[in-house]
Structure 1
Amino acid sequence: MSITILTKNDFPSIEKIKTEFDVFRVIYIKTKGKLEIIEFFNKDGVFRGFGRDSKAAYKKAKKALKKYYK
């Protein structure tokens, strides 16, 4: 398992998410299998997205974050 903190250089749209939802950390986790996880941290909790690749995990985490604030 590898854990990485993502920045706007990795995903350009992270900066927009950080300002819109007050996210202070974005973490990318890659497991030994085919599962990849992206987590958004803010004052209200942790929002996770799972997928086979990083783009799918990012989309699901973003969807969970938007659904919480809707």
Structure 2
Amino acid sequence: MKRICVFIGSDKGVRTDYLLSAKQLANELVERDIELVYGAAKVGLMGVLADAVLELGKRVIGVVPKLKI
């Protein structure tokens, strides 16, 4: 089992190339059979990436810092 941890913005910002890059990364992870570990946000670029990986049928693991619980 391979995993990669990605921490990216919790805001989408105004640059559409960042959104496209997050979706491209999701495709690469799924094609290479790599699970995503990420910052557990459902918003911003983190949410875009996680949603894209999930939509492609791969597992994601959200990590929430203890201070945020």
Same fold (TM over 0.5): no
> Comparing both chains, which one has the higher relative contact order based on Cα–Cα distances under 8 Å and sequence gaps of 6 or more?
2
| Structure with the higher fraction of residues in strand conformation | 1
Using structure 1 for the length normalisation, give the TM-score: 0.29
Using structure 2 for the length normalisation, give the TM-score: 0.29
